[in-house]
Amino acid sequence: MIELNKIERSYRTGHTETWVLRHVNLTIKPGEFVTIMGPSGAGKSSLLNVLAMLDDQWKGEFFFDGEPVHRMNRKQRAELARRRTGMVFQSYHLLDDLSVAENIDLPLSYKDIPRAERQALVADTLDKFQIVGKKDLFPSQLSGGQQQLVGIARAVIHKPSLLLADEPTGNLHSGQAREIMELFKKLNEEGTTIIQVTHSEENAKFGSRIIELRDGWLYSDTAGIAQPVGVQS
């Protein structure tokens, strides 16, 4: 699904260039559940932003299902990202003045989908995520865990093949974090490829592969070494 060849990313401040991703080569197959770990400042979010196609200031090659992202212009890349990916953020990024149902509907509003079909999709998603009773509430009326459920519902309503998450449980207590991770595991079992950034060893156990970055370099990768670690119950 994803192939990165020699991805490089740097930031320039004045005359100083700071490298945050160095020669990153990475292949991710459909159906994987990958965790990116590493110390603070190692480049994890930078790598996720490349994979999410939110960033375009990098060098190297990036193929998404064989399509060369590195040759696309901004509009083509945004369109591909909108169609095929969903993103979950640590701080949820919900729109405060929209209800839960309206937040979830948002990705569909960019698509040419008939109104009735959209309403049915929102209703199905509310049901699947067991938040039907919250549909008319606003984000400020929800707990952190509930807000993240809405964030994930919004990220997957258009059935993306790739779900990306940056510290999705960073603002949650451990019980809520576990629920979110169980949900990720279920989505992965249903066929969604997942890439998450986390500092949490517990969260990483829900995935099947761990990639470690250090100072922008891909330092270790359990692919081909370890079998899926699974979840200890």
Ligand X SMILES: Nc1ncnc2c1ncn2[C@@H]1O[C@H](COP(=O)(O)OP(=O)(O)OP(=O)(O)O)[C@@H](O)[C@H]1O
Comparison of 45 and 171: residue with beta carbon closer to ligand X: 45
Comparison of 37 and 100: residue with beta carbon closer to ligand X: 37
Comparison of 40 and 109: residue with beta carbon closer to ligand X: 40
> Residue 222 has what DSSP assignment?
-
Shortest separation between residue 8's beta carbon and ligand X, angstroms: 13
Shortest separation between residue 208's beta carbon and ligand X, angstroms: 21
Find the DSSP H helices in 133-219.
144-156, 174-189, 201-204
Shortest separation between residue 116's beta carbon and ligand X, angstroms: 42
**Other CB atoms closer than 10 Å to residue 229's CB: what's the count?**
15
Please give the residue ranges that form the binding site for ligand X (CB under 6 A): 11, 20, 38, 40-46
Shortest separation between residue 36's beta carbon and ligand X, angstroms: 8
Comparison of 43 and 139: residue with beta carbon closer to ligand X: 43
CB 3 within 8 A of CB 51: no
Burial pattern 200-224, b for ≥16 Cβ within 10 A else e, equals beebbbbbbbbbbbeebebeebbbe
Distance from chain centroid for Cα 49: 9
